[in-house]
Structure 1
Amino acid sequence: MLSRYLPSFRARRTVATAALAAFMCLGCGLLFLLFAGGREADLSHARVTDAWNRVVPLIREGPLPPVLYRGEVEAIQVLDARGRVAASTPGLIGKPPIATFRAADRNVRTTRVLCPRGSAGCVTVASYKVYQPQGVWLLYVAVPEVPWYGTATDLLLVIGISVIVTIMTTAWSFRNLTKAMAPVNAIRAELGEITLTALDRRVPVPVNYQEIRLLAETVNDTLDRLESASTRLRRFTADASHELRTPITAMRAHLEEALLYPQDTDWPTMTHAVLAGVDLLQVTAADLLTLTHLDARPLLRHDVTDLGRLASAELKRRPRQHKIVEDLAEGAHVKCDRLRITRLLCNLLDNAERHAASRITVSVRAEGTSVIMEVADDGPGIPAEHREMVFDRFTRVDTARDRGAGGTGLGLAIAKEIAEAHEGALTIKDSERGACFVLRLPAYDACHSVQMG
C-alpha cells in the first residue's frame, strides 16, 4: 500500500523510519509518563501521611488550634464528633465541611476524588477516623488530583523530546539514504548513456557501501563481457561475410562466363565447380548454425560412455585416406553427449586428414580423474605462438593450413566449444612432428557415483 503512494525507495524508507522512531518514542514516552505519574502519586500520598502525622497528635492531646498549618497539601479540615468544623487551614475558615464521607466499618482511612463547584480542578480527599472519648472525629486532607502522566511539565517534556528525536531520526535517515542512493543514481545514469557504440564506458565504483560497490563491479564485469562479445560478434560477422562471399563470387564468375560463352563452356566441369561452391556454402552455413546453438549453451545429454569404444566405432565407420594408428584403452568412461563428442572427434579427424602426410594417430586413455583423447598427424604442424589462434573462428595461421586444404575454418572452433560445454578442455601439445590435439574430459567414477546415490 505504501509503495502505491510513495514509489520512491528513499521516500518509503524515510517514512518507515519516521514511523518506527515515532512508535518507539511513543512507547518510551508512555512508560516514562506512567513512571512519573506513579512517582507523583507516591509523593502526594507522602504529603497526606505527613499531614496526618502532624494533625492527629494535636487532636488527641488538645486543645486543637482553630487554624492549622497547611504544609504541602491543598487543605486540611477537622470535624468533631458532632460533625462541626473544629479546625481547618486558612483557606477553609468559616466554610462548611469539604466532605461528609468516612471510612466504612472498621476501616480507618478512605479516599475520594471531589470536584467542588467553582474550583479550578478536582482534588483527592483522604478521610481519617480519629477515635476520641467524645466519639469519632474526622480528619480530611485534600491534595491536588494527580493525573496518570504526572505533571504537565513531564507531559510537555516527553512530547518535546519525542518530536525532536523523531525529526532528527527522519532527517538522519533521509540524509543517509540520499548518500547511499547517489551511487545507484550515478550507475543508472551511466548505464542509460551506454549504447552499442559506447560499450567501452563503465559505471562509477563507489568507495563506500560494499553492496553497491559489488553491484558496480558486477555491472562493469558484465559490460566487459558484453564488449568482448560484441567485438567477437563484429569480427565473426565480418569473417563470415568474407568466407561466404568468396565461394559466391567464384560461382557467379563461373555462371557469368558460361552465359557469355555458352558454346565454349564445358558444362559438366562448370557444373561440378558450382556444386563444389554450393557444398562449401552448405557446410559453412551448417557450421555457423552449430556454433550459434553452442553459444546458447544448450542442455546436453550426459550418458555414461566408454570414450575408447566411441572412437573405435567412429574410426571403423569413416573412410580412410591415410593410415590410422589406434591406441584405444577400454574402461575410460565419461559422462557426455555422444553425438557432440562424436562431432568433436570427426572435426579433429577431418583436420588431421587435411594436413597429415601419411599417418594419423588416435589414442584414448584414463589419467587420474581425467580421460584423455589425442588426435595427432604427421603434417607440417602448428607453431607454438599460433596454437591458441587456431581455435578462433575462421582463423588460418599459414599457407600450409589454408582454404586450399579444404574446410570452413570453423571445425576447431566447434570442437573447442563442445569440449568446454562438457567442462573439459581442448589444447595442442608439443609433438615430434605434426600437430597433436589433446581432449581432456572429467572421468566418470562409477563407484563414487553409487556411493553418492
Structure 2
Amino acid sequence: MLLARDWAENEVEETAERTVERIAFDLVRGEPAKALRPRPGESPIVQVVSRDGRRVLAASEEIIGRPPLASADLIGGQLLIDRMICPGFLDDCVWIFGMRLRTSAYGDGVMVTAASPMPTLASAWLLPVALGLLLVALLSLIGWWTWHTVGRALAPVDRIRGELAHLSAGALDQRVTDPRTGGEIQDLAETVNETLDRLEEATNRERRFVSDASHDLRNPIAGLRTRLEVALEEPGDAGWRPAVRAALRDVDRLNEIVADLLELSRLDSRAPQPVERVDLADLARREIERRPGRTPVTTRLEPGVTVRANPVRLSRVLGNLLSNAERHTESAIEVVVERERDEAVVVVADDGAGVPEESRERVFERFARLPDSRRRDPQGTGLGLPIAREIAQIYGGTLSIADSAKGARFVMRLPLAAGRDPA
C-alpha cells in the first residue's frame, strides 16, 4: 500500500515540476500567452503570482478568478514550493510546485505555480479498501485452488474409505484399489491391502481351526458313546471292563484336546501370567527326570542360562518337544542348553526320520499332522508344537527346526534375562 501511494504521489510531483519548468522557459522567451495553456500530460492548474504573493497576475482557465494557491508560502517570500495543499475553493487536495523567477514578462520576482490533483490511490481510505478487496479476491482464489487440489489429491483416500465401508466378512478376498500415485496415499493403499491379507489369513485359519477341532473332538466322543452303549447292553458284568478302559482312554484324549484348546485360547488372548527368572538348565533337568525314561536322553546343560518367563509355560514347551522327540526317535534324544551372545538356546534333537524341509513350517500349524506322525501316534492332537511356538514368541523368542545330519533338531531361542542371579 505504501509503495503504491508513493508511486502515485511521485507521478503527480514530477508532472507539476515539469509543468513549471516549461512555463518558466516560455516566459523567459517572452511568450506569456502561450505559456499558460496546459499541454497534454501537464498539470491543469497554473498561476503566476506577484512578488508579494497577494495578486494573481495570470492563471489557466480552470482557476481564473481564484485566489493564490499556497498564499502563506508566497507571502513569506519562499523561493520554492513543493508540497500538498487542500484549499477550500477546490474540491480535492492538490500537489503544488512553485518556482520564483528573477525576471519575466509579468515582472520581476513573480512566482510560477502548477498544481495537480492528488491521485485516487493517494486517498486515505480508497487504497486500503482496494487492497482489501484484492486480498479477499486472492484469498478466495487460493482457497478455491487449495480445496480443488486437496480434493483431487484426497480422492483416492475417499475411494479407499468407500471400498472399506462396503467390505463384508464374507468378501475378505477383495482388495482396495491401488492408486499408483506414489507417496503416502499409495503406501496407505498397500498397507490396507496387507492388513486385509493378514485378516483373511487369520479368518481362514480360524475356520480351519474350528473344522479340525470339531473333527478331532467328534471321533473320541462318538467312540466313547458307542463303548458306553455297548457296555450298557451287556448282560450282567460280562465284558464291561475293556469297554470302560477304552472309554477312559477316549476321555483322556478329550481332556488333552480340551486342555490344548484352552491353552491356545489363553495364548491367543495374551492372558498375563506371572514371570520370574528361570534357569533353563535346572528346568530341563527337572522335566527330563519326571518323564518315564523309556528313551535315553543325553544332555549338555550350561549352568546360569536364565530367562524371564513363566516356568509352567516353559515346562510345557520342553514337555511338548520331548514328547515329539520320543514319538519319532530311534535310539536316543539329545537336550542342549547354552548361551549364544545375548540369547539362551534350547535344542531338542532326535535321531529319527526327521522333518522334510518343505514341511518344517507346516508342523507348527494347528492340527497339522504329517503322515509319519499320524502313523506313530494316531491319538495325537496336532497342537503340541503350535503351542510351543506361541509360548516362545510370547517371551520374545523363536522356535524353529534347524538342519541336522539325522533326525529333527528343534531350536528355541529366548532373550537372556538382564543381570545375573546373586548365587
TM-score normalised by the chain length of structure 2: 0.79
Give the C-alpha shift of residue 235 in structure 1: 0.8
- The residue aligned with 2:302 is 329
What 5-or-longer segments of structure 2 have no aligned partner?
Answer: none
Q: For residues 104 and 115 of structure 1, do their structure 2 counterparts lie closer, same or farther at Cα, with a shift above 3 Å needed? A: closer
Matched, 1:79 2:49: yes
Matched, 1:46 2:29: no
Q: For residues 399 and 141 of structure 1, do their structure 2 counterparts lie closer, same or farther at Cα, with a shift above 3 Å needed? A: closer
For 2:173 and 2:312, the matched residues in 1 are separated by 39
Give the C-alpha shift of residue 41 in structure 1: 1.0
Q: Percent identity, please.
A: 36
1:360 to 321, 325, 333: 333
Matched, 1:426 2:366: no
Give the C-alpha shift of residue 219 in structure 1: 0.8
1:242 to 215, 219, 228: 215
Give the C-alpha shift of residue 216 in structure 1: 0.7
The one-letter code matched in structure 2 to 1:224 is D
Give the C-alpha shift of residue 57 in structure 1: 7.5
SS in 2 for 1:102: helix
| TM alignment of 1:263-302, pairs within 5 A | 263-264=236-237, 266=239, 269-297=242-270
Give the C-alpha shift of residue 303 in structure 1: 5.0
| TM alignment of 1:261-410, pairs within 5 A | 261=234, 263-264=236-237, 266=239, 269-297=242-270, 303-356=276-329, 359-367=332-340, 370-378=343-351, 381-398=354-371, 401-402=374-375, 404=377, 406-410=379-383
Q: For residues 396 and 218 of structure 1, do their structure 2 counterparts lie closer, same or farther at Cα, with a shift above 3 Å needed? A: same
- The residue aligned with 1:114 is 86
Is the 1:424–1:439 contact (alpha carbons within 8 Å) kept by the matching residues of 2?
A: yes
The one-letter code matched in structure 2 to 1:113 is I
Q: Deviations over 1:152-199 (max 9, x none)?
A: xx9999799878866665554444334323322332232233222221
Is the 2:69–2:87 contact (alpha carbons within 8 Å) kept by the matching residues of 1?
A: no
- The residue aligned with 1:210 is 183
Corresponding residue pairs, total:
411
Matched, 1:255 2:225: no
Is the 1:75–1:142 contact (alpha carbons within 8 Å) kept by the matching residues of 2?
A: yes
SS in 1 for 2:324: helix
1:417 to 368, 373, 390: 390
The one-letter code matched in structure 2 to 1:89 is S
The one-letter code matched in structure 2 to 1:42 is N
Is the 1:311–1:345 contact (alpha carbons within 8 Å) kept by the matching residues of 2?
A: yes
Matched, 1:35 2:6: no
Between 292-301 and 206-215, report the one with greater CA deviation. Answer: 292-301
Q: For residues 93 and 352 of structure 1, do their structure 2 counterparts lie closer, same or farther at Cα, with a shift above 3 Å needed? A: closer
Q: Deviations over 1:19-60 (max 9, x none)?
A: xxxxxxxxxxx4xxx32321221122223333444556888x
Is the 2:16–2:95 contact (alpha carbons within 8 Å) kept by the matching residues of 1?
A: no
Between 212-221 and 285-294, report the one with greater CA deviation. Answer: 285-294
Is the 2:84–2:93 contact (alpha carbons within 8 Å) kept by the matching residues of 1?
A: no
What 5-or-longer segments of structure 1 have no aligned partner?
Answer: 1-29, 448-453
Q: Deviations over 1:106-155 (max 9, x none)?
A: 865364432655x66443345667789x99855543211134458xxx99
- The residue aligned with 1:439 is 412
2:116 to 143, 146, 157: 143
Between 227-236 and 80-89, report the one with greater CA deviation. Answer: 80-89
Give the C-alpha shift of residue 204 in structure 1: 1.2
Give the C-alpha shift of residue 212 in structure 1: 0.9
For 1:438 and 1:86, the matched residues in 2 are separated by 118
1:123 to 69, 78, 94: 94
Q: For residues 386 and 65 of structure 1, do their structure 2 counterparts lie closer, same or farther at Cα, with a shift above 3 Å needed? A: closer
Between 67-76 and 294-303, report the one with greater CA deviation. Answer: 294-303
Is the 2:70–2:85 contact (alpha carbons within 8 Å) kept by the matching residues of 1?
A: no
Q: For residues 83 and 287 of structure 1, do their structure 2 counterparts lie closer, same or farther at Cα, with a shift above 3 Å needed? A: same
For 2:359 and 2:64, the matched residues in 1 are separated by 120
For 1:436 and 1:96, the matched residues in 2 are separated by 118
The one-letter code matched in structure 1 to 2:63 is L
The one-letter code matched in structure 2 to 1:247 is P
- The residue aligned with 1:189 is 162
Give the C-alpha shift of residue 401 in structure 1: 4.1
Q: For residues 320 and 406 of structure 1, do their structure 2 counterparts lie closer, same or farther at Cα, with a shift above 3 Å needed? A: farther
TM-score normalised by the chain length of structure 1: 0.74
For 1:84 and 1:438, the matched residues in 2 are separated by 118
Give the C-alpha shift of residue 272 in structure 1: 4.1
Is the 1:306–1:332 contact (alpha carbons within 8 Å) kept by the matching residues of 2?
A: yes
Q: Deviations over 1:341-373 (max 9, x none)?
A: 222101112223444455433222334554432
Q: For residues 50 and 295 of structure 1, do their structure 2 counterparts lie closer, same or farther at Cα, with a shift above 3 Å needed? A: same
Between 44-53 and 259-268, report the one with greater CA deviation. Answer: 259-268
1:88 to 45, 48, 59: 59
Between 44-53 and 64-73, report the one with greater CA deviation. Answer: 64-73
Give the C-alpha shift of residue 218 in structure 1: 0.6
Q: For residues 431 and 296 of structure 1, do their structure 2 counterparts lie closer, same or farther at Cα, with a shift above 3 Å needed? A: farther
Q: For residues 318 and 93 of structure 1, do their structure 2 counterparts lie closer, same or farther at Cα, with a shift above 3 Å needed? A: same
